[in-house]
Amino acid sequence: MKMGIRAKIILLVMVALVVLCSGFVLLIIHEQKDRHHELVMQVDRFIHNSSERELNRIHNIYHSRLDGFVKTNPQIINAFIRGDRQQLQTLTATKFLTLKKENSDFFSISYIRKDGTVLLRTARPDMYGDSALDIPFVAQAFNIKQPQYGLTIARWGLAYRLARPVFVGDSFEGVVVFVLRPLSGLDLIYESLGVDTGVLIKKEYEQRVNGISYPQFGNYILMEEKGTLFKEIPRIPDIEEVGQGLMLAAGRERYLFYSPVELRNFDNEVIGYIQPVSRHTLQYEKYLLILKKALIVTAILALITFAGLYFGVGFLLKRLAQLNNTLEASVKQRTEELCQANDNLKNEILEREKVQKNLERLSRYDGLTDLINRRYFDELLDIEWRDARRHHHWLTMLMIDVDKFKSYNDCYGHLLGDECLAQIAGILKGQLKRAKDIVARYGGEEFICLLPATNPAEGQVVAESLIKAVCSKNIEHCGSSCADVVTISIGISSMVPDEKQTIDQLISHADNALYEAKQQGRNQVRTYHAKG
C-alpha cells in the first residue's frame, strides 16, 4: 500500500519531532546533572574554605595574643611562677572575661606548672593539682618547650589549643594554654547553605574523652553535629566512598553527602573529618517531576504537531512567523535603547570618577611641586606616629629649608623661584628610595620628610645625602651668602614615641634643629639634642 504525500510529510515530521523531543529530554537530564554537580562543587569549596579560614583565623589571632598575654601581664605570670593560686585566679578573671567578650568561642585559660600539674584552669577550677601530662598536646609542649598550637582531643572533647612556655632566665617554669572551641564556621555553613555537618573522630581517640558517650558510625564517633540529619541517617558511607558528592537512599528519603574535610591535630595526624550532608529528597522529587512534565509536554507537542499538520500547519507557521518577527523587532529596538542608555550611564560614571579623583588629588597634593601638602602630611604623620608607638620603633623627621630663597626670588624672579622649588622637590623624592618614606611641601620654601623605622644615625645619613644631592644639582644662586649654588639646611629630630611624647614635640624639635643649622651658617645638618 503506497503512502500519500500528506502521510509521508506527517511521518517525516513526526520522526523528526520524536528525535528532537528525545534530545530535549536528554538535555534536561544532562542539565540537571550539571546543576547537581555545580551545586556539590560550590558547597564543597565553601565548606573547605570556611573550615580552613576558621582554623587559620584562630591561629593568626590567638598565637600573637597568647604571646602578648604572657609578655604584658607580669603580675599574672609572677603569681603563676610563685604558685599563688588565689592571686592568679583573681588576676586572670578580668582577662578571661575580656577574651570571652571578644570571642564567645574562647573557652579557657590553663596554667600548668613545670611538674605537669594544673595550677589553675578557668573552665574547671576543681582540676587543681591534676596531672596534665597524660594529654599528648601538653606532654609534647613540655618536651619541646616551644610555642605549640593545633586541634586536640583531650578530656573534654575537641578543641583548638595554643601553648606557650614560661621561662625565668633559662629555667622552665611551666606553660600557659589558651583553649578555644573550633569550627564555629559550621554554624555559618548550616545557616547559609542549609547543610548539616558532623565532626567524626577516629574511635582510637575516644579513650581520651572523659566519660562522654558519643554516637558511633563504623570506625568513627560523632563528636559534634550541626543540624538533625545525623539522627536520621542509618549509616555514614566510608570517607573513600563519598568522593565528590554521593546520594544515599533511606526509604523515601535521600541524603546528599559532600566531600569530607580532613581534620589534623597539632602533630599533623589525621584524627577524623568533617562530613557535610543535606536532605535531597525534595530536590530529587522535583527532578522526577520536571522529567515527567518534559515527557508529558513531549507527548502533547506530538499530538498538537500531528493535528496542526493534518488541519493546515502551514497557516499556523506563517502566523507564528509574523508574530515572531514583530517580537524580535521590538526586542531588538528595546535592546538597542538599553545598550545606548547603559553606555551613556557608563560614560557619566567614568566622568564623575575622573572628577572625583582630580578633586581628591588637588586636596592632597601641592600643585607646584607635585608633593603631598601639609594637611595630607599631617594625616600620614598621625598614622605613622601611632604605628611607631604601637611597635616601639624609631620615627625620624627632617625639617628642610631652602637657604636664602627670598634672595633667590629677588635675583631671578618668582617664575624661576617656582622652578627651583620644583627641582628641589624632585631631588628629595628621588633620594628617598623606600616606599614608606614621606616627603611633603610644608609651606613656602620649607619641605618636610618623615622616615619611619629610622634611628638618628640613619636619619643623619639620609639628611647628608639630600644636602649633597641638592648641591650637586648646581642651581645657580647669586644671592646666597653660603655658596654660589642653591643649598638647603636640615634639622633632624628622632623619637621612639611613648605616652609622654607628642607629635608637636617631634615637629618642634626638628624646627629647633633647623633653626640651629641656619644659625651655624646654613648648608648643613643639625640634630636636636635635649638640653640638660
Would you please indicate which residues are annotated as catalytic (active-site) residues?
445
For residues 365 and 371, the answer to whether their CB atoms sit within 8 Å is yes
Q: Show the DSSP H helices in 392-455 as ranges.
A: 405-412, 414-431
Give the type of residue at 30. H
> What are φ and ψ of residue 176, in 5° steps?
-110, 130
Q: What is the C-alpha radius of gyration for the chain, rounded to an integer number of angstroms?
A: 38
Would you call 500 helix, strand, or coil by DSSP? coil
Please, what is the angle between helix 5-72 and helix 185-193, to 10°?
Answer: 160
First-to-last alpha carbon distance for the chain, in angstroms, is 127
Whole-angstrom distance, CA of residue 160 vs CA of residue 527: 52
Q: Which amino acid, one-letter code, is at 154?
A: A
Q: Which residue has the cell 604572657?
A: 70
Contact 159, 151 (CB under 8 A): yes
d(CA 284, CA 291): 11
How many CB atoms neighbour CB 503 within 10 A? Answer: 17
